[in-house]
Amino acid sequence: MNPTEGVLSEAWTMYKAHWQHLLSIALAVYVAVALISLLLHAILDRWAAGLLTAVVSLLATFWLQGALVKAIDDIRDGRPDLSFGETFALVRPQLPAIIVAGILAGLGVVFGLILLIVPGLYLLTRWILIIPVIVLEGRSAGESFGRSWELVKGFGWNVFGVIVLTILILIGFRIVLDILLFPLSNLLQSVLTELVSGTLATPFAALAWTLLYFRLREAKEPEPAAATV
């Protein structure tokens, strides 16, 4: 059976069941980033504020991705056992590995897209599981690439399909939000778009791609059957 079949519907079911818990995690990060962005734009010139905001946003995004992976693993039994603070605290030691792997993967994918597009999409597919691997298996940044590649191998087209559908959903939501916020000033529109779309959409993407990790791991490394007496 195709292990990626029904991933998005399962992600939507979990999203509806645990939206308050997941969105509270995302909201805290995006509110902090939005406030920092507004403060930087108030005290610095446009380019310096934009650069510092981008750095803060990047670091916050990586920490949020790790926290969401940990939270999704926590709610797989049907209820959250970790508090808000515990979720972020458990991911903190792995944050350097997440940042390094995330930046390297991002550079590789972007470079591949610039070259011929296809190499970038191929690398995106093969490396889509690096953050779940780091958070849930305790792998280093370097190990996460090979481990993600190993899990995706044999199911590349199926994984690519899930990634594309997830991204299309996120893009569609972002377009609708931009239209609704169009009358606002550019700065306020940008801040609110990041805040709302990030809070609502990021947990869904994290669900879809973390569930891919669990599905593929179970397909490649099934649990041994219990011995019968």
Q: Domain span at residue 112? A: 7-219
In a domain, 181, yes or no: yes
At 225, the pLDDT band (50, 70, 90 cuts) reads very low
In a domain, 227, yes or no: no
Count up the domains in the chain and report the number: 1
In a domain, 117, yes or no: yes
What is the chain written as a DSSP string?
A: --TTTTHHHHHHHHHHHHHHHHHHHHHHHHHHHHHHHHHHHHHS-HHHHHHHHHHHHHHHHHHHHHHHHHHHHHHTTSS--S-HHHHHHHHGGGHHHHHHHHHHHHHHHHHHHHHTSHHHHHHHHHTTTHHHHHHHH---HHHHHHHHHHHHTT-HHHHHHHHHHHHHHHHHHHHHHHHHTTTS-HHHHHHHHHHHHHHHHHHHHHHHHHHHHHHHHHHHSPPPPPPP-
In a domain, 2, yes or no: no
In a domain, 179, yes or no: yes
In a domain, 159, yes or no: yes
In a domain, 229, yes or no: no
Mean pLDDT of the chain: 85
In a domain, 195, yes or no: yes
Q: What is the pTM of this model?
A: 0.85
pLDDT tens for residues 77-113?
888 888 888 898 899 888 889 988 888 888 888 888 7
At 172, the pLDDT band (50, 70, 90 cuts) reads confident
Confidence check: pLDDT of 159 > 90: yes
